[in-house]
Chains A and B, each alone.
Chain A
Amino acid sequence: MNTETPQLAVSRVFDAPRQLVYRAFTDPDHLAAWWGPTGNSLPRDTIEFDVRPGGYQRWTEVNAADPRLRVHVHIDLTDVVDGELLEGVMRVGGRLQEGIEPFETRLRVEFHDEADGRTRLEIRQWLPGHLAHPSEEGWHQAFTKLDAALTNSQAVAMNHRGVQVWPS
Chain B
Amino acid sequence: MAGTDQLSAVFSALADPTRRAIIAELAARDATVTELTAPLSISMPAVSRHLKVLERAALISRSRSGRWRASHLEAAPLREAADWIERYRRFWDSSLTRLDAHLAAVQAAGPVTDGPAGDPREPE
Q: What is the interface of chain A, defined by CB distance below 8 A to chain B?
A: 4-5, 7-8, 10, 12, 14-21, 23-24, 30, 33-38, 83, 105, 117, 121, 123, 125, 127-128, 131-135, 137-139, 141-143, 145, 163-164
Contact = CB atoms under 8 A, between A and B. Distances in A.
Interface in B61-102: 74-78, 80-81, 84-85, 88-89, 91-96, 98-102
Interface residues of B, number: 40
Contacts, number: 114
A18 B117 contact: yes
A135 B1 contact: yes
Contacts of A137: 77
26 contacts: A8-B89, A10-B89, A12-B96, A12-B100, A18-B117, A19-B112, A20-B117, A21-B99, A24-B103, A33-B102, A34-B98, A34-B101, A38-B94, A83-B117, A105-B88, A123-B92, A125-B88, A131-B84, A132-B7, A134-B81, A138-B75, A139-B2, A141-B74, A141-B75, A145-B74, A163-B1
Mostly, the B contact residues are: helix
A93 to B, nearest CB: 16
A105 B88 CA distance: 11
